[in-house]
Amino acid sequence: MENQKKIVLTGDRPTGRLHLGHFVGSMQNRLKLQDEADQSFYMIADIQALTDNADNPEKVRNNVLEVALDNLACGLDPKKTTMFIQSEIHEIAELTVLFLNLVTLARLKRNPTVKSEMKQKGYGEDVPAGFLSYPVSQAADILFAKSNLIPVGEDQLPVIEQVNEIVDSFNRLYGKTFDHVKHLVGDTPRLVGTDGGSKMGKSLDNGIYLSDSYEILSKKVMNMYTDPGHIHVQDPGKVEGNVVFTYLDIFDDRKDEVAELKKQYEKGGLGDVVIKKRLVEVLEKMIKPIREKREELAKNPEKIMQILEKGTEEARKVAEATMLEVRKVIKIDYF
Ligand code: TRP
């Protein structure tokens, strides 16, 4: 890795706006790496989004712009990061088909990420084949650009593991062509949702979005899960599992003050409203500049599409070069 070029690639499924979980899980790493890497790519994974939204192309289409806006508003810089749309790079589809030969059905069914997503969606055996095999298409997303550093949320680690197995099989059969890839998980790999029950998820209705207004943000924090046993202000409260404190630990820089508040809360005499108001202010400070930049950018959607078009052209050149090499080693380079 030391003398290897650092090529970063990451992506989002365009199925909804991005939330705080995305921000601490991978966005912060994206922003850092676009300055450190030799090359940096950001993909809007519309084909992957269609694997479980085939009946709703409208939703996928509309969210392409939304996730682009979220990323640009957070500070992803098209001068440093090549931003492109997955479906526009046909080589990715071609590479996926070739990689599918290197993966068994049994292995796909064992992938813990896919397994839990299948369960969440209630698919059972009736899972779309495209969805079951999305880790294979994700391998193509990553390897077409020969990228080796992948900032992702913690839930994606089994997918990255499977990518490396595909690298091994490919190299064994056709000669050394790809390098192993490395994942990078943020400081908070898994952010609990506002309900305290599970991780923040687009489909779980427990998220705070990077584009939420102050009013919505306040409402969500005020409804946050705290300690159900903490009924009166003077009652001692629990800090563990209390989402407000979990978030203060992550987002509030004034650690000493938070430690003091925790002590007070555990002793009794500190009401939920006080800590919730504090959290609203902390989150608003972080989200406000993102929201404002997003609103500014959203006034000119054509400009965003131009950025994506230009990035797509750049990514296509890289993909063509890789596919020439791949066709050659698989001996499907006829004319
Ligand atoms: N599966 C990723 C997610 O749900 C999105 C994604 C698609 C991705 N292709 C990728 C991430 C390539 C990293 C690299 O978050």
Range list of H helices, the chain: 20-22, 28-36, 46-50, 57-74, 90-100, 105-110, 112-121, 129-132, 134-143, 157-174, 214-222, 243-251, 255-267, 272-298, 301-329
Instruction: Single out the residue of 80, 97, 83, 99 nearest to residue 39, CA to CA.
Output: 80
Phi, psi (rounded to 5 degrees) for 320 = -60, -40
Return d(Cα 71, Cα 18) in angstroms, integer: 8
Q: Which atom of ligand 1 is nearest to the CA of 13?
A: 5
Return d(Cα 195, Cα 63) in angstroms, integer: 25
Phi, psi (rounded to 5 degrees) for 40 = -140, 130
Ligand 1 pocket mutation, candidates 81, 156, 167, 181, criterion most atoms within 8 A of CB: 156
Q: Which atom of ligand 1 is nearest to the CA of 9?
A: 14
| pLDDT value for 186 | 86
| pLDDT value for 211 | 96
Distance 186 CA to ligand 1 centre (A): 15
Cβ proximity of 308 and 44 under 8 Å: yes
What's the average pLDDT block by block, 10 residues per block, for the chain (335 residues)?
85 96 92 96 98 97 98 98 98 98 97 94 93 98 97 92 98 98 89 89 88 97 93 93 96 96 95 96 98 98 98 98 98 97
Q: Which atom of ligand 1 is nearest to the CA of 12?
A: 5
| pLDDT value for 199 | 85
Q: What is the pTM of this model?
A: 0.95
**β-strand partners of 171:** none
